[in-house]
Amino acid sequence: MRKSKTILPLIGCILLALLFFGLTREKNSYQRTYTSYQVPDVTLVNQHNQPVPLRTFLAPDKPLMLEFIFTSCTTLCPNQSVKFSNFQKRLAPDTEQVRLVSITVDPETDTPEVLLHYLKQYQAQPGWEFLTGSKKDIKLVMNAFGIKPSDMITLDSSLLLRSTESGKWVRIDGQVHSEDFYREYQRLIQ
């Protein structure tokens, strides 16, 4: 009888933990959709203050992962940047086999100098570019990729992937865990 009194609370705790894990996992799931985008013909600048003709830069010569973030963000963006950084570490030493692109949604704050400091903070390797530009051009790019300013204040994000083989885009909305991030890349290059 005494054993059942100690086992029942233990079973209850295990069931609660499983329920919590299931709810948390569901909350952190993501949705992937195939889509197409028309890259606008604008010139942005990278973290080295070099001009980057966006349409040419995003041409399908290698796999691409594209995100929209801003450096003063304290919630979602650091999480995304850690994933990009960890992804590059996993690809090392050939970090340039895929093009990682972060585009700021706050060009007034995110100058090339700020972007360079941000990338150093996340130990960015070759292959990861951070782009900024005029407010007008950034808005044009956000509209082209279906990114709304309100997306930046939610805890969900959009990661855009493009394969070199098909040239098709995959849009991932929601929270992508690190293991899912790498798995999506593997799907992209198959």
Ramachandran angles phi, psi of 100, nearest 5°: -100, 130
In this predicted structure, what is the pLDDT of residue 157? Answer: 66
Gap between the Cα atoms of 190 and 176, Å rounded: 19
For position 13, what pLDDT does the model report? 46
For residue 183, what pLDDT is reported? 87
Cis peptide before 93 (omega within 30 of 0): yes
- Tokens standing for 190? 């198959």
Query: Considering only CA atoms, which of 137, 4, 146 is closest in space to residue 66?
Result: 146
CA atoms within 13 A on the CB side of 149: 6
**Looking at the chain, which runs of residues are DSSP E strands?**
30-35, 43-45, 51-53, 64-69, 99-104, 128-131, 158-162, 169-174
Give the Å distances, CA to CA, from 97 to 24, 51, 118, 179.
Answer: 33, 22, 22, 19
* Neighbouring C-beta atoms of residue 113, cutoff 10 Å: 11
Name beta bridge partners: 162.
64, 169
Domain extent listing, the chain: 30-189
Give tens-digit pLDDT for 86-104: 889 988 888 888 999 999 9
Report the topology of domain 30-189.
Glutaredoxin (3.40.30)
> pLDDT per residue over 22-58, tens digit each?
444 444 478 888 888 999 999 999 999 999 999 999 9
- Which residues participate in the annotated binding site? 73, 77
CA 108 to chain centre: 21
CA 177 and chain centroid, separation: 11
Binding-site positions for Cu cation: 73, 77
Average pLDDT, the chain: 82
The helix (run of H) or strand (run of E) holding residue 78 is: helix 76-91
